[in-house]
Structure formats: C-alpha cells, structure tokens
Amino acid sequence: MIGEEYILDFFNQFGPFALALLSFTEAIIQPIPPDVMFLPMAYEERDSPSVLLWLWTIVTVSSVMGAVIGHTIGKRYGTKLLDRFGKPHHRDRLESLFERYGTLGMFIAAISPLPYKVFGWIAGASDMKLQPFILAGIFGRGLRFGLEALLIYLYGDAAMDAVQWLLDHEI
C-alpha cells in the first residue's frame, strides 16, 4: 500500500490542481482528507486573502463534485454493497436515518471529521435527492474549509496547531 506521505509528496508538486484532485478523490474513495494539503497551502498564503479565497473555492467545489460521484456510486451499487458487507438491518437503519435527517445529516457529515465519502455513498443508496445533497455539501464543506482558512488568516501558528490536533483525532 502506498503511504500517505508518498501520496502527499506527489500531490504537492502540482499546487492548486493537486488540491482539487485530492479533494475530489477523497470525497469518492481515497482516505487522505484534503485538509492535510489545504492547511499548509492556506498557511503559506495567509497574508493574501484573495489567494486564500481561491484555495477555499478549489477545495470546496472539488470536494462537492467528488461527493456527487460518490452519491452516484451509492445510488447504483450502495444497496448491493451494504447487503454484501453489512447486515440488512444496518442498511434499513441507515436508510431510515437519511429519510429522517437527510440534508441536516449531510451538512453535519460535511463539516465534521466523519468520513464524508461514506455519507455520500449512503445518501445515494438511500435515494437522497441530489439538489439538497449538493446544497448540504456546499454549505458544510464551505463552512469547514472556510473556518480553517479564516482561523489561519487571523491566528496563524496557533490556528495551525489547533487544526492539526483536530486532524490527528479524526475518526
């Protein structure tokens, strides 16, 4: 298995394009959260609000676009995968949770350290409509990455230390 450090070294060679690719693929399948690339890039550009805004836009939009692919995978294959690797009552429970908390649940998943991609798959498998799914992603991911950028802009090193602690304790 290729290590996280090797993957990040590869991605770091390509700047904002790599940030978009990492964010896009994380929302579908790969395990490295975009924060590990976004945060150092934001820190380097903390004195340039326009560049911070650009990086925030890149990481947010590409994450939501990847999540749409994850939603599609969940819609097409999610029930089969959940039935194969899980128990039917777990699938039923997840589907009922999405029926009850759909958009709010996706918003919470988007801002939290919970694995966003898994919630995209489940949302697709439980037939969550695409428009509220996308809106929850835009607002949730936008808030998550926007707060990270704002804290780095305002507090620099102290913000990086706090965010790093959160990432180290991600589920």
pLDDT per position as a tens digit, 17-46? 999 999 999 999 888 899 989 998 999 999
Q: Per residue in 9-43, is it b (16+ CB within 10 Å) or e — as a string?
A: eebeeeebebbbbbbbbbbbeeeebbbbbbbebbb
pTM: 0.85
Q: 133-166: per-residue pLDDT in tens?
A: 999 999 999 999 999 999 999 999 998 888 778 7
pLDDT value, residue 2: 59
pLDDT value, residue 126: 85
* Residues shown for the chain: 171
Residue with tokens 């998943």: 109
Provide the 10 A C-beta neighbour count for residue 137: 30
CA dihedral 72, 73, 74, 77 (to 10 degrees): 130
E-strand stretches of 26-171: none
Return mean pLDDT, the chain: 87
Mean pLDDT of 78-97: 72
